[in-house]
Amino acid sequence: MEIDYTEHAEFEFRILKQHGFSISKEQVGDIIRSPQKLVPGRKGRLIAQKPVSETHMVRAVYEQQQDRVKVITFYPARRDRYEDQV
């Protein structure tokens, strides 16, 4: 599966790194390929989420386009906020 990133998603990598939350494209790809939970998003998008630490998970918002995935954005979230959804 080919994964593309929007300009906004590319910006997220840089801004999160500046704030001490470094995540790689490989990690985001892994979250999309094997999420702990997959939930529907707005506009037909999907949200894949997976824990990355004891306190945080990463949620990736993307669009499926045949054999390609377009990552719209991703963000860290506190696990306790979404724990009931996992």
**pLDDT tens digit sequence for 2-45:** 999 999 999 999 999 999 998 999 999 999 999 999 999 999 99
Angular region, 20: left φ>0, alpha ψ -120 to 50, beta rest: left
pLDDT of residue 86: 45
CATH number of the domain residue 36 falls in: 3.30.2310.20
81 band by pLDDT with thresholds 50, 70 and 90: confident
**Angle at alpha carbon of residue 3, lines to 17 and 23, rounded to 5°:** 20
Q: Which domain holds residue 7?
A: 2-85
Q: Do the strands 2-5 and 68-78 form a parallel or antiparallel pair, or are they unpaired? A: parallel
The domain total for the chain is: 1
Contact 69, 32 (CB under 8 A): yes
